[in-house]
Structure 1
Amino acid sequence: MAIAPQWEAALQAVQSPPAQRRPGRPRATGHPTDRYEAKRKAILDAAARLFTLRGYEATSVRDISREAGISQATLYHYTGSKPEILAAIHNLMADELLPRMNGILQSDLSPERKLAEYMRAEMELIERHPTYTAAMRHKRWLLPGAAQEMREKRDEADRILDAILQEGIDKGVFHPFNVKFARLAIMGMSNYIGTWFSPVGPSTIPEIADGFARILLQGLLSASPHR
């Protein structure tokens, strides 16, 4: 699977030659949990790069271990099988995004500002993790349990957006509309950005999110919004 040209620079920035393993036990530094998570994240980074460049099917566990500069036994210790690695990539993205989305919903911001911040949160996640975003397109390879977990997390994100939109309707800021249709349109705008956004382009993610929100709100604001 080819990565979009505009993301090639970002991919090259995170792509590095496999580290050379040295004999002997390395000196322990830092908190054990921190070291464990750092190693695990490095494996996920390597897998996401390969899933993006080669595709999920064409990437083997051996390929991932070589990219990460570790043995296959070490890889299995930290991340498990290839389907488990794919599930971990999905979980990392969802677990990073959902707390921020919940914070936006629970904030004192106006409904229109919440909408802009929701879109910004999703777009910034895509900007931070372009290879993870691309790797998530292989979700059909998730095992049933992992696929169900991802559906539940996606449903939670949908419920948050629905609540923001419904709050705007209830407060008279948005005119009545089909919340599901609006959510699908908004998610399409946010998710599609990964196919065209350039990290070196003229507009930043916050600027794009605000611009998208303004376009939406011109059709969502009531004639006499109550703020």
Structure 2
Amino acid sequence: MDLETVAKLLKSDIEDGVSESQVEERRQQYGYNEMEGEGGVSPIKLLIKQFFNVMILILAIAMAVSFAFKDWIEGGVIAAIAIINAVVGFLQEYKAEKTMDSLRQMASPTSRVIRDGQGKTIPTRELIPGDIIVLNSGDVVGADARVVEAFNMDIDEALLTGESVPVNKVNDIIEGAEISLGDRINMTYSSTIITKGRGKSIVTAIGMQTEIGKIAKRLLDSNDNSKTPLQKSLDRMAL
């Protein structure tokens, strides 16, 4: 897609960017440029959370009944199952939360943009679709964006593609219906690093809609769908 069409779809200007009057409206429409979740893993909260679900409450009742009838062995077994289930659930969630924190920390705190034809530095979380971001060597890209201009600009995209060699970016039109991430040389992606050169890009996606955001979403979804050994056993019993 050519730059003029991209800018038109985003209701922006390749030279001047978005107007300040558009910012709040787009903030309401798209939200902030950030990952979902509060951030900052609290192991204590995660551990306590494991003991406040229906399954653990059922086990607690069964354990109490067993102890009430002085069936110490059965009560002890149920207690052990509840503890193991909680520990496994805690480890699964803790690992996912730590990974999410790592993804959040990759973002640059600020980004240089052009709005109303004027250059300014803003918090990266305040980027909106249509913003023109100014990129220089050493910068971390703040959002997914279409290249507007590139002067010998190389970007390290190993985080997304696994490729160790930086990719040289251009503002050409790339033909093809299904183009792999590594071949989209006219795009710059959130959390990747400018290793050489400079350029400008127009923001096309922010937050969880970016490529790194999609990775985070898959991580969150897999964590929500993951089950402890006890849950899997109960599912088999239900069958």
TM-score range for the pair, normalised by the shorter chain length:
under 0.3
Point out the structure with max Rg over C-alpha: 2
Instruction: Compute the TM-score of the two structures, normalised by the length of structure 2.
Output: 0.22
Which has a greater percent of helix? 1
TM-score calculated relative to the size of structure 1: 0.22
